[in-house]
Amino acid sequence: MPTILRIDPNDNLIVALRDLAKGDTVDIGGRRIELVEDVPAKHKFTSEPVPLGGIVTLYGVPVGKALAPLSAGERITVDNVVHYAAEVDVEDATPYAWEAPDVSRWADRTFDGVIREDGRVGTANYWLILPLVFCENRNVLKLRDALERALGYAEDGLTAFARSLVGAAACPSPKRPFARLDGVRAIVHNGGCGGTAQDAWSLCRILAAYADHPNVAGLTVFSLGCEKAQIGLFQEALRERNLGFDKPCLLFRQQDWSSETKMMEEAVRKTLAHLEAADRIERRPVPLCRLRLGVKCGASDGFSGISANPVIGDVSDRVVTLGGASVLGEFPELCGMEGNIISRCLRKEDKGRFLELMRRYEAAANACGASISDNPSPGNIHDGLITDAIKSAGAAKKGGKAPISAVLDYGDPMPDAGLSLVCTPGNDVEAVTGLVASGANVILFSTGMGTPTGNPIVPVLKIATNTAVARRLDDLVDFDCGPVIDGESIGTVGDRLLEKVIETAGGHYIPKADRLDQHDFLFWKREVSL
């Protein structure tokens, strides 16, 4: 098993793949270097002396500036290195060249997709319940719980365990009457009133995107009546999203009812009446070009950019080459990689739009006395991501090497083909919420330390960067990229991950987040969120 890794031949930072001790010697390009201090696994050390103010590089790009002279074999930390990113030139007209992967073995593969009347393809078939204002969260959850229990979707092992401890008999779940309906899902949120008019419109746009998503068969919507996010505003957002929107949309304004009980009973009655039609849809084989991937990382570690993110990027490139689509977000985690991103944009206007969105984001952070380069969390730093540029250089690997065909703002619909960028925060749930709103129908989510993050309407596959986390958090993690650290090729592991994606998209594999009922939703109000 290798103990160190030089990612790019020009790097002067080396990654420790195993715990290394002071005095250990390592071979780097035929030179023997003695470590001057302990270097834990996932952390980086210098391959040569670096002067005060000198630049340290990883992944072939600048990722930091030395705050003090560094010796060869010295571990970098937040005390001796600070974030640094190279200047970028939007006028650089050098054409981007990439070698598309060989996808011949996947050309005839299919997944069992949910085909809507307008021809769009989903990876699930849900009835969605949502509130236009936080006041209605309780009613949303009451309706969801009532329908889940009545229709056999509620499988609460913890409740069964608690009942066993008090000597109560287990309550058997009823047989599901709607076999082709994957479930009843709910969104709750803290918006809709008490904020700006722009907040209400932003919320309605994201809720409309979820309503219009091909994974949704229809929806039940609760309004209080006096909120800023009025039913009319939501309907306007639906028309903006899809002028031909024609899914069942049941609207309940509580202040129009004489009693909550009557409203809720009618909501149950009307929703059940529509579920029979939602259950008629059957999955059918569709080509892989109908996949719409969203790629995300969270609870990242020093292996994220070496194992899981490059494997996700490999799968993303294959899907794009097959004619499908992929979308990469997390703009604070592209800080330091602007030059690479700009070089990959096919259109000059997208280069400019990307830089404008990044600069607007940085200005908003500066107004609060922060910077988007403050993104790394204590957990990231503890596990080797010392600067935002180091984190970003690894995070960008999720987007593979494909050219960038579109740059989107939060929640904008992604194109049907190619790699897109969408402006989201790094915040796990805000980012996944935005990727789904853009139209992703499967989320690939890498994690170095483990996270339960899921989504109400789209499957989220959690992909571990290392085998230790995959084994320890088996109830959260769906796929292990740890073999890459042990020497297995990215392409070989990518083969297995693409098979997992196909299985998931076809409804034959249920992600761990869905088994745990982890259905997170958090829309970005555009306040500073890193």
Residue 171 has pLDDT above 90, yes or no: no
Segment 228-247 mean pLDDT: 97
Domain-embedded: residue 340: yes
CATH number of domain containing 62: 2.30.130.110
- 3 state SS of 460: strand
Q: Is residue 129 scored above 90 in pLDDT?
A: yes
Rounded distance between C-alpha atoms, residue 310 and residue 496, angstroms: 14
Residues 262 and 300 in one domain: no
Does 467 have pLDDT greater than 70?
Answer: yes
Domain assignment present for residue 10? The answer is yes
Q: Could you tell me if residue 422 is inside a domain?
A: yes
DSSP annotation of 345 reads B
Beta strands in 436-504 (DSSP E): 442-447, 460-464, 479-480
Same structural domain, 155 and 191:
yes
CATH code at position 224: 3.40.50
Name which of 86-100, 354-368, 372-386, 474-488 the model is least confident about: 86-100
For 158, other C-beta atoms within 10 Å of its C-beta total 7
Residue 20 has pLDDT above 70, yes or no: yes
Closest CA to 387 of 401, 377, 397: 377
Three-state DSSP state, 429: helix
425 shares its domain with 298: yes
Q: Which of 328, 286, 314 is nearest to 123 (CA)?
A: 286
User: What is the total count of domains within the chain?
Assistant: 3
Reported as a single tens digit per residue, the pLDDT across 140-155 is 999 999 999 999 998 7
Residues 367 and 398 in one domain: yes
Residue 93 in any domain: the answer is: no
pTM to 2 decimals? 0.96
pLDDT the model gives residue 93: 65
Nearest to 63 by CA among 46, 80, 82, 78: 82
**Complete DSSP assignment for 396-412:** GGGGTTPPEEEEE-TTP
Domain edge (last residue) among 82, 99, 116: 82
Indicate if 231 and 331 belong to the same structural domain: no
Question: Residue 21 has what pLDDT?
Answer: 97
Q: What is the pLDDT of residue 375?
A: 85
Q: Supply the pLDDT for residue 172.
A: 75
What is the tally of helices (H) and strands (E) in the chain?
15, 22
- The contacts of residue 180 (CB under 8 Å, 6+ apart) are 125, 279, 280, 281, 282, 283
For the stretch 477-524, pLDDT in tens is 999 999 999 999 999 999 999 999 999 999 999 999 999 999 999 999
Give the separation between CA 507 and CA 516, rounded to whole angstroms: 16
- What's the one-letter identity of residue 353? R
> How much is the pLDDT for 173?
76
Answer whether 292's CB lies under 8 Å from 440's CB: yes
Residues 253 and 305 in one domain: no
Looking at 82, 103, 138, the residue that finishes a domain is 82
Q: How confident is the model at residue 359 (pLDDT cuts 50, 70, 90)?
A: very high
Nearest Cα neighbor of 6 from 51, 70, 60, 55 is: 60
pLDDT confidence tier of residue 391, bands split at 50, 70 and 90: very high
Residues 342, 372 share a domain = yes
Average of pLDDT values for 116-128?
A: 97
- The confidence score (pLDDT) of residue 476 equals 98
pLDDT value at 448 more than 80: yes
| Within a domain: 298 | yes
Is residue 520 situated within a structural domain? Answer: no
In the DSSP assignment, the letter for residue 290 is G
Q: Considering the chain, what is the average pLDDT of its residues? A: 95
The answer to whether residues 21 and 136 belong to one domain is no
Domain containing 220 equals: 126-280
Q: Residue 293 gets which letter from DSSP?
A: E
* 326 in the same domain as 304: yes
Look at residue 159 in the predicted model and tell me its pLDDT.
Answer: 77
Is the per-residue pLDDT at 358 higher than 80? yes
How many Å apart are CA 378 and CA 381, to the nearest integer? 5
Question: Looking at 280, 310, 325, which one is the last position of a domain?
Answer: 280
Together in a domain, 342 and 375: yes
User: Do the domain assignments include residue 91?
Assistant: no
**What is the per-residue pLDDT for 528?**
61
In a domain, 442, yes or no: yes
Q: Are residues 327 and 441 in the same domain?
A: yes
Q: Would the pLDDT of 392 be above 60?
A: yes
Among 312, 317, 333, which residue's Cα sits nearest to residue 464?
312
Confidence label for 529 from pLDDT (cuts 50, 70 and 90): low
Average confidence (pLDDT) over 80-106: 88
Task: Give the confidence band of 530 by pLDDT, cuts at 50, 70, 90.
Answer: low
DSSP string of 247-290, one letter each residue:
S-EEEEEGGGSS-HHHHHHHHHHHHHHHHHHHTT--EEEEEGGG
Q: Do 395 and 299 fall within a single domain?
A: yes
Cα atoms in the Cβ-side hemisphere of radius 13 Å centred on 268: 17
- Provide the pLDDT confidence category of residue 174 given band limits of 50, 70 and 90: confident
Task: Tell me the per-residue pLDDT of 282-336, one tens digit each, with 9 for 90 and over.
Answer: 999 999 999 999 999 999 999 999 999 999 999 999 999 999 999 999 999 999 9
pLDDT at 514: 97
pLDDT of residue 224: 98
Residue with tokens 């003695």: 34
β-bridge mates for residue 407, sequence order? 421
Q: How crowded is residue 114: how many other Cβ atoms within 10 Å of its Cβ?
A: 26
pLDDT exceeding 90 applies to what percent of the chain? 89
Q: Decide if pLDDT at 56 tops 70.
A: yes
